[in-house]
Chain A
Amino acid sequence: MSLSPLQVTNLVKHYGPVRALNGVSFSVQPGEVFGLLGPNGAGKTSLISIVTTLEKATGGQVHVFGEPLGKESAVAKCKIGWVPQEIINHGYFSTKEILEFHAGYYGVAQADVAIEELLRRLDLWEHKDKKVRQLSGGMKRRLMIAKALVHRPQLLLLDEPTAGVDVELRLKLWQFVKDLRQQGLSILLTTHYLEEAEHLCDRVAIIHKGELRAIDRTEDLIQKWSRKRVQLHLNRDVVLKHADLMSGEGRCWTFMTSQNKPLGALLSELQIEVNDIVDVQMTDGSLEDVFVHFTQKGAL
């Protein structure tokens, strides 16, 4: 049995009267990309901050590869790479120096090879002598990622790694994340781009107001909690009644049906013949539907 890279149990975090986390439990499986989703203020960064020991939990436990996270958990810390939500500035130091220092903090004295490889992979090699403030927003993000990886961690915590990143770079970063998973890294990722989570994450947890609302394989969540949209264009005016009906009149009708309901079943319930149909458009449900379902007002 391999150990869970990250297991949080009943995690509670209060900031004075603010209840940021209210007993959250889950575990990340080895080698998976785990999405931690939730609206602004849901408690995602608070959870990550507890794992990086930047914040102390009010209650609950964190285990990193089976080891309880304590005050000076040097071994556990070595296994974690962390990309913070906010860019970290390093004053006078250049990109290359920053990475050398970072490797050193994690006990790696000779990191030149690893640093060059990372900088090249993240298209930062030509910027190696620049200071953080001389980099563009996207370059800064990539530098944060390089920093998180320079000591070869086994668990990567990515707190909104693609915030403020252009489409091209986002696609590159997606590929990069997939490559890292391929290499065996376990990854916990937060993002507000649900399309990104849908594309990258093997499993997803949705938290809202400090509570875990849903957790499952991404496609299972979509299957279970989203609806597909069916638009029918008919060759004559009709009047239709159905529980799944969203809108429509005359020849054009729109339905939201459960994800696994066959089109044939819907048509026979509506008593529509195939000959009556001019066109059918179907749009699969998305993680966004699931997210809205679990986080909108009054949900659960």
Chain B
Amino acid sequence: MTVDLVWTPFKTLLRREIARFMKVAAQTVVTPFINASLYLLIFGVSLGQKIEIGNGLPYLAFLIPGLVMMGCLNNAFQNTSSSIIASKFGGDLEDLKAAPIRSWQILAALGIGALVRGLMVAAVTWSAGAVAYYAQFGQWLGFHNLGIVLLFLVLGGLIFANIGISVGFWARNFDQLSAVGGFILLPLIYLGGVFFSTDQLPEFWRNVAMGNPLLYMINGLRFGAIGVSDVDWLTALAVSILALAATFGLAMLSLKKGSFHRW
């Protein structure tokens, strides 16, 4: 029996993370698909025909990248936070504590697991959007720069995975988890420019919106997708990398100080 304490624990945990959300694929993939379709229908197709965003692109083209990022972020956050909370509930988080797994292995496995789910949801959302776009305009929506799209999806997914890890370890009950999701993250996502451009805001509110790091991630991805953005994409990249470093530190701290105890 060979023992490898570097890759095997990491790979096992990653495999478990992916298997976990694949067992409830209906919840993890179909729900975001329905959500995205509803948003596309309400905002993109029906209301969107009355909205102009400048530089000649229809509102739907503007909305789709926002929805893609929103799905990715939400699902990455949900994956890590609910994985940890479920493990606290069942008690198997105690197993992880007793096992020779290091913090970086836990962070990497949970982060990448969440990212996989985030990317799957992003792909599903993009597909739904592409179909809606084709239905309306008779042509496929291409990418301005796929590399930039993937870069921001990866950054955003990992950032939200880290936030989910932090909240999962600190939370003492389900209410605290949903409070963070509902009162903090959701408003930040909605106000981060998923549905609108900050150019449409009065100056004061535009400045407020600029303080929201999510604005940069969402706009960075939108630049990659359609070449349009409220902020310079390199600035967006810098802000996202800083946010990743900060949330990584936060997640590491939660892992070291937070509770592995069952509820």
Q: Is B176 an interface residue (CB 8 A)?
A: no
Evaluate contact between A105 and B9: CB separation under 8 angstroms.
yes
Using known A-B contacts A91-B90, A104-B11, determine if residue A52 contacts B100 with beta carbons closer than 8 Å: no
Evaluate contact between B91 and A84: CB separation under 8 angstroms.
yes
Q: Which residues of A contact B97 (CB under 8 A)?
A: 52-54
Q: Is B148 an interface residue (CB 8 A)?
A: no
Q: Is B12 an interface residue (CB 8 A)?
A: yes
Q: Which residues of B contact A103 (CB under 8 A)?
A: 12
B87 to chain A, nearest CB (A): 8
B124 to chain A, nearest CB (A): 21
Using known A-B contacts A53-B97, A91-B20, A101-B16, determine if residue A106 contacts B3 with beta carbons closer than 8 Å: yes
Q: Which residues of B contact A100 (CB under 8 A)?
A: 12
Minimum CB distance partner of B23 in chain A: A92
Evaluate contact between A74 and B12: CB separation under 8 angstroms.
no
Evaluate contact between B5 and A92: CB separation under 8 angstroms.
no
Using known A-B contacts A52-B98, A88-B94, A90-B92, determine if residue A106 contacts B9 with beta carbons closer than 8 Å: yes
Within 8 A of B (CB), among A67-126: 72-75, 77-78, 80, 82, 84, 86-93, 97, 100-111, 114
Question: How many Å lie between the Cα of A72 and that of B96 in the bound state?
Answer: 12
Which of A52, A80, A105, A108: most chain B Cβ within 10 A?
A: A105
Q: Contact flags (1/0) for B1-29 with A, using CB distance below 8 Å? A: 11111001101110110011001100000
Q: Is A152 an interface residue (CB 8 A)?
A: yes
Evaluate contact between B90 and A90: CB separation under 8 angstroms.
yes
Minimum CB distance partner of A92 in chain B: B23
Question: How many Å lie between the Cα of A11 and that of B199 in the bound state?
Answer: 64
Residues of chain B at interface, number, CB under 8 A: 33
Question: How many Å lie between the Cα of A78 and that of B6 in the bound state?
Answer: 13
Main secondary structure of the interface of B (DSSP, over half): helix
Which of B95, B102, B260: most chain A Cβ within 10 A?
A: B95
Question: How many Å lie between the Cα of A218 and that of B39 in the bound state?
Answer: 71
Q: Which residues of A contact B5 (CB under 8 A)?
A: 74, 78, 107
Evaluate contact between B102 and A74: CB separation under 8 angstroms.
yes
B258 to chain A, nearest CB (A): 13
Q: Which residues of A contact B13 (CB under 8 A)?
A: 101, 104-105
Evaluate contact between A107 and B90: CB separation under 8 angstroms.
no
Which of B2, B20, B100, B262: most chain A Cβ within 10 A?
A: B100
Number of A-B contacts (CB under 8 A): 100
B54 to chain A, nearest CB (A): 48
Evaluate contact between A74 and B100: CB separation under 8 angstroms.
yes
Evaluate contact between B94 and A109: CB separation under 8 angstroms.
no
Q: Which residues of B contact A93 (CB under 8 A)?
A: 16, 19-20
Q: Which residues of A contact B23 (CB under 8 A)?
A: 92
Q: Is B234 an interface residue (CB 8 A)?
A: no
Q: Which residues of B contact A87 (CB under 8 A)?
A: 91
Question: How many Å lie between the Cα of A112 and that of B102 in the bound state?
Answer: 24
Question: How many Å lie between the Cα of A103 and that of B261 in the bound state?
Answer: 21
Evaluate contact between B94 and A54: CB separation under 8 angstroms.
yes
Evaluate contact between B100 and A109: CB separation under 8 angstroms.
no
B92 to chain A, nearest CB (A): 5
Q: Which residues of B contact A78 (CB under 8 A)?
A: 3, 5, 100
Question: How many Å lie between the Cα of A172 and that of B3 in the bound state?
Answer: 30
Query: Can you list 30 contacts pairing A with B, beta carbon distance less than 8 Å?
Result: A52-B97, A52-B98, A53-B98, A54-B98, A54-B261, A72-B102, A77-B98, A78-B5, A80-B98, A88-B94, A89-B89, A89-B90, A89-B91, A91-B20, A92-B23, A92-B24, A101-B12, A101-B13, A102-B95, A105-B101, A106-B3, A106-B9, A107-B3, A107-B8, A108-B1, A108-B8, A109-B8, A109-B12, A114-B1, A151-B3
Q: Knowing that A92-B24, A110-B2, A147-B95 are A-B contacts, what are 19 other residue pairs whose CB atoms are under 8 Å apart, sorted by A's residue number?
A: A53-B97, A74-B100, A78-B5, A87-B91, A88-B92, A88-B262, A90-B90, A101-B12, A103-B12, A104-B8, A104-B9, A104-B11, A104-B13, A105-B13, A105-B96, A107-B3, A108-B8, A109-B2, A110-B1
